[in-house]
Amino acid sequence: MAHSVSAHLHVKIADYDGFIRTVIPGYDTMRAVQLDLLGRSLPPDGRVLDLGGGTGALAAAVAERFPTVHIEIWDTDPAMLTVARERCAVFGTRVSLVARSFVEPLPACDAVVACIALHHVKDLTMKGGIYKNILAALRPGGLFANADTAMSTVPFVRDAAFQAWGNFMGTQGIADEPARQYFAEWAKEDYYPPLATELRLLAAAGFAEPECFWRHAPFTVFGGVR
């Protein structure tokens, strides 16, 4: 499942961290929610897997917040992994990089996180398999916290979500037409299932209580605890 973020977003990798905040409302809030959840669930020597970890921004935030925790970044984009390696070098062996797809079986861990990554999986059977792998990897009490986009299939609700999304981009200097072009381009690779669908997939994977931890439609942090 190789993926090039630069080709998909038409942005230089060096500009990604700034760019993502101009097109994703609540990006920093989602990260804060994930970190708070980790703070309530991780053991002091815990192990966290960051799926589709990209530039290593989330992994670095976890490493800074929890100085005795180990983090693995899983990604298949060589350019992103190069940036992540440079960013996380300061943490030494506490942060490691794995050039592997997150559809593969995962090692035992205490938490799995992802941020704006799993929506690249358009096949829901495959996504359900990923959720099963996550549950199997988590130790008892382990947390899965996924920050992503979830779109309703109800037309007027969906339209309102896209309108609000576009309005936010407008506040960042992105005009209406370029915003629409972004949406059309992203749709070639991305799929944002309704939150209800995501929670059903988690339940089918074996999570006893799939949960929405935070939401400002269409953006959400959801997952579950083993």
The domain segmentation of the chain, as residue ranges, is 5-151+191-225
Shortest CA distance to 213 belongs to which of 189, 226, 195, 192?
Answer: 195
Q: Tens digit of pLDDT per residue, the chain (226 long)?
A: 444 444 444 456 667 788 889 999 999 999 999 999 999 999 999 999 999 999 999 999 999 999 999 999 999 999 899 999 999 999 999 999 999 999 999 999 999 999 999 999 999 999 999 999 999 999 999 999 999 999 999 999 999 999 999 999 999 999 999 999 999 999 999 999 999 999 999 999 999 999 999 999 999 999 999 9
CATH architecture of the domain formed by 5-151+191-225: 3-Layer(aba) Sandwich (3.40)
Count of beta carbons in the 10 Å neighbourhood of residue 154: 11
Considering only CA atoms, give the Rg of the chain. 17
CA distances from 175 to 22, 55, 110, 168, 169 (A): 12, 27, 42, 10, 7
Q: What is the pTM of this model?
A: 0.91
Q: To 10 degrees, what angle do helices 16-23 and 27-41 make?
A: 100
